[in-house]
Amino acid sequence: MANTQETPGQSSADGASAAGGGGRLLLVDGHSMAFRAFFALPVDKFGTTTGQSTNAVYGFTSMLIKLLREEEPTHIAVAWDVSGPTFRHEAYGEYKDGRADTPPEFPSQVELVQELLRLLGMVSVSVQGFEADDVIATLAHRAGAEGMEVLIASGDRDAFQLVDGGCTVLYPGKSVSDLTRMTPERVEEKYGVPPERYRDLAALVGEKADNLPGVPGVGPKTAAKWILKYGSVDALVEHADELTGKAGQNFRDHLDDVLRNQRLNLLVGDVPLEVGLEDLVPGAADRQGVNTLFDDLEFASTLRDRLFQVVDTEGAGEAAQGPSGEDFDGSVSVPGPGALGAWLEGHTAQGRSGVAFSGTWGSGTGALTGVAVAAADGAAAYIDPCALGEEDERALAAWLADGDRAKAVHEAKGPLLAAFAHGWDLRGVTGDTAVAAYLVQPGQRKTGLEDMCRQYLNKELVRRQEEGGQLSLDIGGGEGGDEGEAVRADLAVRARATLELADRLDALLEQRGGSGLMADVELPLVRVLAGMERVGIAADRSYLDGLEGEFAAEQRRAVEEAHRVVGREFNLGSPKQLQQVLFDELGLPRTKKIKTGYTTDADALAWLAGQTDNELPSILLRHRDQTRLRTTVEGLIKTIAEDGRIHTTFNQTVAATGRLSSVEPNLQNIPVRTDAGRRIRRAFVVGPGYDALMTADYSQIELRIMAHLSQDAALIEAFQTGHDFHAEIAARVFGTDPERVGPEERARIKAMNYGLAYGLSEFGLSQQLGVTPGEARTLMEDFFQVFGGVRDYLQAVVEQARRDGYTETILGRRRYLPDLTSDNRQRRQMAERMALNAPIQGSAADIIKVAMLDVDRALREGGHRARALLQVHDELVLEVPEDEVEPVRKLVSDRMAGAYDLRVPLAVSVGLGENWRDAAH
């Protein structure tokens, strides 16, 4: 027998003593609630960048927080099933047969939940040969005998037999957080029998989840009527001959099943456990450990904040106590009229200062409501930009614009936009803590100052109220006192935190070889991106309105055609109605089974369109296309500013590979290879005072980087022939001349070329080409037969990353991949694909960023009016006056081509037009 226990809680003076009676015991069925959480939250929406699914962990944690907050238990235990047969399997070999396979994303999350419970000082219990229900029953009986109140959180109805005046089951409803209190009255109201007879009712009705068949034709109402009349199943057996009708005969025919079910349904109340009730008092949580786990799982700070509000983090030793350093000082001065310049001169002449801004920014502009400066000498000042006199405003503007006064800022691009709008500038930024943290750990999605202080400084960015109403801070103000004082202190403390954090991150960057990338590329790029956002790109509103009308008309036409085909109206946006129409009414082939039925996603509809002559799947696909296009256009229209331009926001710290992304609106997802996408690009036009849009992009940059990194002689030569590159590669693979390569062969090799650069597997290539995995494998083998250097490189880069723990781009951008050595196959394979992809895509991102900086510098130094508007992956979009077209064309081509010296020269294509579509090349 294996009996496991993790981190038993420590008894405390405040907790009720089990032996002395009283107290409230919360018993959680771990697997039951984790499964509920898994299926309540979409697995594809909860996961880390390394491939670890987190929906069950997140949902379980949310449920635990709710239970702790609302029930306030003094004792807690979480019971778990264990692998291997139980005594029930030995009694009935088909017990629980037919259950669906456990989703592959689930088991690793159970381990993570158990680790979280350990860090929270809560006991996990499991016993070989028994189920979690039996452990719960045993602990419930023991607690009841000691006069404790018992709460059982479980989605297993077998627990209802434990309900009595001192024991309540918290049974989940439609969502994990929707819990019904199953008291004796509630059980009897719902099932018609008291809790102690629920086991008999289940024996008659059966339990599909456990593969326990009941009596055919006997449902809960009939079973309850019999039990109430005769008192129990045992009594019912004695009066079996009195049961009339077909139901009675079925009972007699299946009597053995009923008695077996009754035996197996009984929960064991005396499981041998190595824990006692006194061990179930939760110990103090390991705050730092929870923070580290949540960082690894990439959970937002809001979840951990909610968790720390309901668990004890005091008294468990240094690791559990949270902040290990001294609190940030909340003291702040407010220089009087005319004194700001002297304060800045006196305190910031030496060393770097931390600067924190409050206000709003986005869409190319912003507004400042507060500025706090934390000097290296420990002093801090708060400035209200809206209440400055002329002398003080000049002093602040001059200090912010002084490139010789070193400053550390968190997420500097937003404040820079707000400063621009205020008529100021912000220079001398030698540290941006958000960008630095991104370079230190690019896979981490949390960029909040609070999260970073917690992770890198082991300090909490929270407000704290001290005795006597005096304001003291870890970071921030308190509830009492003057509200304005709290706001000022909060911003000053953020400035202090930014300064300390910047120093810490600089040291980490130095250790990881990222200082040059930060200083030479990422930090200067902040200013370039702010300038592009501020300028924006002109949009043709009337054209977009007309386009939206066209897409809306096509959308309605598709709806009408779908209704005609089916012969009635239905909601094309409802998966449930689509399932009914496609599979029940039309009888089309079934697609992949999912939780809610059969999938009707785009891939499934495309498959149906190829499997049947029915036109509905194609109509539905067209409807979705038109809906998506209409939504895109509507979004663009909404974001046109008063100046007639769209000001997107570029994200510099999101994509782990180093690529930029674009939001509000996303201008990087407008398709260029479809007619509809090109029509949308037609809406982006040259603005007043300029004569043309210029686009410049790299040709096959990822493959050129592949040739550079792999040093494959055949691949390098293929670039130098002057032929169509993909046709040239296809000719070498298929052993023919480039001129004789057909469109299909070229398309296959093109998919192969880019697939290899993005870590595409045999299965992925087969899906992309619509061929079997065997055919894809043969194609890859043929490719590697010719380009052995590529094969060797791809193998070597993964092994090198496994040894080093990270991959690296040509400019030293690292991506740490600890899952390369993971025991979890799914996570390990995801990390291997990242190891293949990151050096190539990351190097491409490095090169385009260097090119942006070089182009921006050359335009400024040359006194050109031309300006960059957008960056879309490998493409730059500029606005150019007519007299600068040729010099700027040459400037952009030269600077982009010279951004990095590859073994295969970078090729740049430039186009010109009155709108983005016409400027394509």
Query: How many residues does this entry show for the chain?
Result: 921
pLDDT tens digit string along 497-524?
999 999 999 999 999 999 999 999 999 9
Pure H helices in 692-824: 701-710, 713-720, 725-734, 743-757, 762-769, 773-786, 788-804
Q: Which two tokens stand for residue 259?
A: 């008695």
Out of 181-195, 348-362, 805-819, the most confident range is 348-362
Distance of CA 430 to the CA centre of its chain: 30
Question: In terms of pLDDT, which residue wins out, 732 or 757?
Answer: 732
State phi, psi for 333 to the nearest 5 degrees. -105, 155
pLDDT at 706 over 70: yes
Closest CA to 363 of 645, 99, 82: 645
SS3 (DSSP) at 353: strand
- Mean pLDDT for the chain overall: 87
Q: How far apart are CA 734 and CA 782, in angstroms?
A: 8
Q: How far apart are CA 536 and CA 521, in angstroms?
A: 22
Q: What integer pLDDT is reported at residue 20 of this predicted model?
A: 42
Q: Which of 152-166, 279-293, 415-429, 725-739 has the lowest mean pLDDT?
A: 725-739
Q: Over the range 895-906, which residues count as b (16 or more CB within 10 Å of their CB) and which as e?
A: bbbebbebbbeb
pLDDT at 475 over 60: no
pLDDT at 561 over 60: yes
pLDDT at 813 over 60: yes
pLDDT at 389 over 60: yes
Q: What integer pLDDT is reported at residue 625 of this predicted model?
A: 93
Element of type H or E holding 392: helix 390-401
pLDDT confidence bin for 485, thresholds 50/70/90: confident
pLDDT at 319 over 60: no
pLDDT tens digit string along 232-280?
888 888 887 788 888 788 888 778 778 887 788 888 888 899 899 999 9
Q: How far apart are CA 74 and CA 148, in angstroms?
A: 10
pLDDT at 17 over 50: no
Distances (CA, A) of 492 to 288, 370, 372, 375, 495: 25, 10, 5, 10, 5
Contact 425, 531 (CB under 8 A): no
Question: In terms of pLDDT, which residue wins out, 748 or 628?
Answer: 628
Q: How far apart are CA 342 and CA 470, in angstroms?
A: 29
* β-strands 875-880, 867-872 pairing: antiparallel
pLDDT at 464 over 50: no
* pTM of the full structure: 0.75
Q: How far apart are CA 680 and CA 122, in angstroms?
A: 56
Q: What integer pLDDT is reported at residue 315 of this predicted model?
A: 43
Question: In terms of pLDDT, which residue wins out, 263 or 637?
Answer: 637
Closest CA to 305 of 471, 492, 454, 442: 454
Mean pLDDT score, 824-828: 80
Q: How many CB atoms lie within 10 A of CB 394?
A: 13
- The tokens 């296309």 sit on which residue? 625
Q: How far apart are CA 755 and CA 371, in angstroms?
A: 48
Q: How far apart are CA 797 and CA 778, in angstroms?
A: 23
Burial of 421 (0-12, 13-18, 19+ CB in 10 A): middle
Question: In terms of pLDDT, which residue wins out, 545 or 50?
Answer: 545
Q: How far apart are CA 486 and CA 478, in angstroms?
A: 6
- Write the Ramachandran bin of 860: left for phi over 0, alpha for psi from -120 to 50, otherwise beta: alpha
Q: What is the DSSP track for 444-457? A: -----HHHHIIIII
* β-strands 24-29, 149-153 pairing: parallel
Distances (CA, A) of 367 to 311, 400, 787: 39, 15, 56
pLDDT confidence bin for 328, thresholds 50/70/90: confident
pLDDT tens digit string along 662-684?
999 999 888 777 888 899 999 99
pLDDT tens digit string along 84-118?
777 776 667 677 666 667 888 888 899 999 999 99
* β-strands 179-182, 206-207 pairing: unpaired
Q: What integer pLDDT is reported at residue 829 of this predicted model?
A: 85
- The tokens 């055949």 sit on which residue? 714
Calculate the CA dihedral of residues 669, 670, 675, 681 and round it to 10 degrees. -160
Contact 679, 916 (CB under 8 A): no
Element of type H or E holding 172: strand 167-172
Element of type H or E holding 432: strand 429-432
pLDDT at 9 over 50: no
Q: How far apart are CA 336 and CA 342, in angstroms?
A: 11
State phi, psi for 416 to the nearest 5 degrees. -65, -40
Closest CA to 191 of 675, 200, 893, 491: 200
Q: What integer pLDDT is reported at residue 466 of this predicted model?
A: 37
Q: How far apart are CA 234 and CA 229, in angstroms?
A: 12
Q: How far apart are CA 407 and CA 402, in angstroms?
A: 10
pLDDT at 896 over 90: yes
pLDDT at 11 over 80: no
pLDDT at 346 over 90: yes
Q: How far apart are CA 303 and CA 297, in angstroms?
A: 12
Closest CA to 658 of 898, 919, 844: 844
State phi, psi for 885 to the nearest 5 degrees. -55, -55
Mean pLDDT score, 324-352: 86
Q: What integer pLDDT is reported at residue 569 of this predicted model?
A: 95
pLDDT at 649 over 90: yes
Q: What integer pLDDT is reported at residue 13 of this predicted model?
A: 37
DSSP 8-state secondary structure symbol assigned to residue 466:
P
pLDDT at 151 over 60: yes
SS3 (DSSP) at 912: strand
Mean pLDDT score, 436-443: 90
Question: In terms of pLDDT, which residue wins out, 916 or 783?
Answer: 916
Domains of the chain: 3-183+268-280 (3.40.50.1010), 340-512 (3.30.420.10), 538-646 (1.20.1060.10)
Judge if the upstream peptide bond of residue 881 is cis by omega within 30 degrees of 0.
no
pLDDT tens digit string along 33-62?
998 999 888 888 888 877 788 999 999 999
Q: How far apart are CA 705 and CA 703, in angstroms?
A: 5
Question: In terms of pLDDT, which residue wins out, 652 or 741?
Answer: 652
Q: What percent of the chain has pLDDT over 70?
A: 92
- Write the Ramachandran bin of 285: left for phi over 0, alpha for psi from -120 to 50, otherwise beta: beta
Q: How far apart are CA 387 and CA 394, in angstroms?
A: 13
Q: How far apart are CA 46 and CA 58, in angstroms?
A: 8
Angle between helices 773-786 and 725-734 (to 10 degrees): 100
Q: What is the DSSP track for 819-831? A: GGG-S-HHHHHHH
